[in-house]
Amino acid sequence: MEHVLVTGGAGFIGRYICQELLRRGKKVRVLDSLIEQVHGSAGRPEALAPEVELIRADIRNGAAVEKALVGIDSIIHLAAEVGVGQSMYEVERYTSVNEVGTAVLFEKLIDHPVRRVVTASSMSIYGEGLYRDQQGNLLQEVARSGVRDGLRQWNPVDAEGNPLIPLPTPEWKRPSLASIYALGKYAQERVTHIMTEPYGMEGVTLRLFNVYGPGQALSNPYTGVLAIFASRLLNGQRPMIFEDGAQRRDFVHVRDVARAFADALDLPAAAGGTFNIGSGHDRSISEVATALAAAMGRNDLEAEIVGRARIGDIRHCFCDTSQAMERLGFAAQEDFHAGLAELAEWVACQEAEDRVAEARAELETRGLVA
């Protein structure tokens, strides 16, 4: 029986991965610090399967990591601070956990090598997604200028002011690191690939798009956008949308993500690869907010369009899934609207502290909203 260590495995995505690994006959150990921002003040999460061994420790604690590696055959590395906006002012914290923590893990793996390490990366490393101009040229490095100076032309344009056409973003697009969070996730990717082969291990990285589903941390204002919207709606507040709401993203259900990690841990074709994990369908943020409000029976709470931008945000980025399909046989199976209904049913039984306005005020105070 293979023994898998899941760092950060007590979190939203990690708990689903643990369940999927157990279903496939793996033995699972989790290393997680259970930070209050994500888990509240409670101890072991109830949703973490009882069969999972939990070591409560920080990924930067070398002695704890060494202990967690005893008897381990493979690793899924999720441990990270998550949140683009917060990373822009909690710079030391994000850099320490995401980059130093990953360095500690791989340094300990030198003396305790495993078969394979699968590391969670993020769509955020792309910055803006792939675009095409009016002449059919593909553009990998697109930036919006002037937002800080009051420009309200949200969509990227060419030098003549013509709109650019957003396309599904493939893995070969060059990274454009627009936040400290993105920088840290890319560092985790590179460390995984740099450190595995020389020490006789295999490395895989998965670039996750917008993950949603029951179990997200509703009181964390820096979590996924659907959880943030759900928290607002649950508290009788309108979802808050930056810019004009027409920005487009790819939303993938957490059960699909869990399958992707479990497959990436075992499939020979995954070794050495970096793969996008998304649904392959893009939706506007406004469309998603409206659909969630309907699923939660709160059609009366129309989204608040802020008309301002957060520094570091991008306009369009959605998933080209072809490489994951070709090498992993991965395709998302969960229906989006059925997933929203399931999320709404779960949220209805929860309590959540709405801290979105507080988080927005923090960003504005620091000059990170234009």
Q: Which residues are catalytic?
A: 181
Q: Are 253 and 213 in contact (CB under 8 A)?
A: yes
CA–CA gap between residue 60 and residue 226 (Å, rounded) = 30
Q: State the CB neighbour count (10 A cutoff) for residue 92.
A: 8
Other beta carbons within 10 angstroms of residue 330's beta carbon come to 24
Helix (H, G, I), strand (E, B) or coil at 132: strand
* Separation between Cα atoms, residue 68 and residue 10, nearest integer Å: 14
Rounded to a whole number, what is the largest CA-CA distance in the chain? 61
For residue 200, the one-letter residue type is: G
Q: Are 334 and 343 contacting, i.e. CB atoms less than 8 angstroms apart? A: no
- Residues contacting residue 365 through CB under 8 Å, at least 6 positions apart: none
Instruction: List the alpha helices (DSSP H) in 222-302.
Output: 225-234, 254-266, 285-295
Half-sphere exposure for 252 (CA within 13 Å, toward CB): 27
- What are the two backbone dihedrals, phi and then psi, of residue 29, each rounded to the nearest 5 degrees? -120, 140
Cα of first residue to Cα of last residue in the chain, in angstroms, is 53
DSSP string, 214-239: TT--TT-TTS-HHHHHHHHHHTT---
Q: Identify each DSSP E strand in the chain by its residue range.
A: 3-7, 27-32, 53-56, 74-77, 116-122, 131-132, 138-139, 165-166, 202-208, 210-212, 240-241, 248-253, 274-277, 282-284, 304-305, 316-317
